Amino acid sequence: MDPDKVLIAGGGIGGLAAALALAQKGIPSLVLEKASKLGEIGAGIQLGPNAFHCFDRLGVGESARGMAVYIDSLRLMDAIADGEITHIDLGDKFRARFGNPYAVVHRGDLHGVLLKACQDHSLIDLRTQAQVDGYDQDGKGVAARLGTGETVRGRALIGADGLWSLVRRQVVGDIPPRVSGHTTYRSVIPLEQMPEDLRWNAATLWAGPKCHIVHYPLSGWKVFNLVVTYHNHAPEPVAGKPVPVEEVRKGFTHVCERAQNIIRHGKDWHMWVLCDRDPIDQWVDGRVALLGDAAHPMMQYMAQGACMAMEDAVCLADSLSSYESLETGLTAYKDRRVQRTARVQLMSRAMGDHVYHPDGPRAALRNTLMNAKSQDQWLDTLDWLYGGNGLD
């Protein structure tokens, strides 16, 4: 195995983006993915303009733009009163301000675009059934220990192995992720089954006490992505368990009829109990660094986990190519990324409490404050996030 390669544990959106970003700078890599096949589960994902800034730097701008649905607005509905609280217009003014659009894509399509670009690049090797259990390092390189007992050598190791990262376990030595107690159920509805009066070209959020519903069109308007969340204090992490619609409906009996009706149309529901972590700045151990959910797992309430992973990738490659010493480059990468990702981690949690799930006077206050904002004020509010590409 080429010892000059950067090893990347994990072939999710973060790991593949890292391989592409490094390749753009002429740095070869080997992606080690534990699954037997490279792919993504779940349906939709929202992408802010900052994701599109990254696509261009990863060399996939055109193909990424081709698979997206360009929605007109982000719409916030009151799930009790059945009325709009506010919306953010994603039209020309938004695009001009941030230099790129806001879009929704199928996760599989996004992963597929990144995978194809990796497969086509001579500097990237991909290997499946290669779980990275840990690593050893010396002044010359890193040896990743695989589940098979084999070791693979490289010049650096990037832990892009997600929420339950084994690389992180060794870098940080910390406790398991925090279980949020929020249970998310995901489904996809064929367009013709989506209630006609709700076929909006928007990412719509119905916010109710301790629950919310998100829907948006996907895959060239063939389907609607439906994600509903109930803060039921679930005690244990769960990932992708099939559940009957009756179980999903239990958490939404208190919301308006129109919102309840959306859930009735969902099929093949799967459930996740969401986890995140507090921000840390211990992302680097010598020649080893963390990226994406391995570094900063967050609640999905700012729709930024994958966007941040791609920004990490761009910044990692930029930092490594800017310094002679690998260790200095990794430390520079971490220093450039920690505050921005910590802000998104903490704000995502706060959004859950103050925007997605409040009740009574707190919900009324949310409505008043959010309704009072003009479109220009919304753009100012979002400038720090969508205006950046993670390099500053």
Ligand X SMILES: Cc1cc2nc3c(=O)[nH]c(=O)nc-3n(C[C@H](O)[C@H](O)[C@H](O)COP(=O)(O)OP(=O)(O)OC[C@H]3O[C@@H](n4cnc5c(N)ncnc54)[C@H](O)[C@@H]3O)c2cc1C
Give the interface with ligand X as residue ranges (CB under 6 A): 9-15, 32-35, 45-46, 131-132, 160-163, 166, 184, 227, 272, 274, 292-293, 300, 303-307, 309
Cα–Cα distance list, 350 to 152, 212, 301, 347 (Å): 41, 15, 9, 5
Distance CA 54, CA 391 (A): 10
Closest approach, Cβ 186 to ligand X, in A, equals 6
Main-chain dihedrals φ then ψ at residue 384, nearest 5 degrees: -60, -30
The label of the residue with tokens 């990262």 reads 165
Closest approach, Cβ 360 to ligand X, in A, equals 26
Tell me whether residue 163 or residue 379 sits nearer to ligand X (CB atom): 163
Query: Nearest-5° angle of CA 388, CA 391, CA 392?
Result: 75
Tell me whether residue 141 or residue 159 sits nearer to ligand X (CB atom): 159
Distance CA 145, CA 152 (A): 7
Tell me whether residue 79 or residue 302 sits nearer to ligand X (CB atom): 302
Tell me whether residue 19 or residue 45 sits nearer to ligand X (CB atom): 45
Tell me whether residue 239 or residue 323 sits nearer to ligand X (CB atom): 239
Return the structure tokens found at 380. Answer: 């100012």
Query: What letter represents residue 251's amino acid?
Result: G
Closest approach, Cβ 388 to ligand X, in A, equals 14
Tell me whether residue 110 or residue 255 sits nearer to ligand X (CB atom): 110
**What would the DSSP string read from start to end of 198-267?**
G--SEEEEEEETTEEEEEEEETTTTEEEEEEEEE----S-EEEEE--HHHHHHTTTTS-HHHHHHHHT--
Closest approach, Cβ 315 to ligand X, in A, equals 14
370, 357, 367, 313: which is closest to 6 by C-alpha? Answer: 313
Closest approach, Cβ 81 to ligand X, in A, equals 25
Closest approach, Cβ 227 to ligand X, in A, equals 6
Closest approach, Cβ 13 to ligand X, in A, equals 5
Closest approach, Cβ 334 to ligand X, in A, equals 15
Q: Between the CA atoms of 165, 133, 155 and 57, what dihedral angle is there, to the nearest 10 degrees?
A: -30
Tell me whether residue 64 or residue 309 sits nearer to ligand X (CB atom): 309
Q: Coil, strand or helix: which one is 361?
A: helix
Closest approach, Cβ 201 to ligand X, in A, equals 17
Tell me whether residue 279 or residue 323 sits nearer to ligand X (CB atom): 279
180, 207, 175: which is closest to 75 by C-alpha? Answer: 207
Distance CA 166, CA 378 (A): 39
Tell me whether residue 11 or residue 154 sits nearer to ligand X (CB atom): 11
Tell me whether residue 293 or residue 367 sits nearer to ligand X (CB atom): 293
208, 246, 182: which is closest to 77 by C-alpha? Answer: 208
Hey, how many other C-beta atoms are within 10 angstroms of the C-beta on 83?
A: 10
Q: Which helix (H) or strand (E) holds 326?
A: helix 326-351
128, 112, 182: which is closest to 351 by C-alpha? Answer: 182
Closest approach, Cβ 367 to ligand X, in A, equals 23
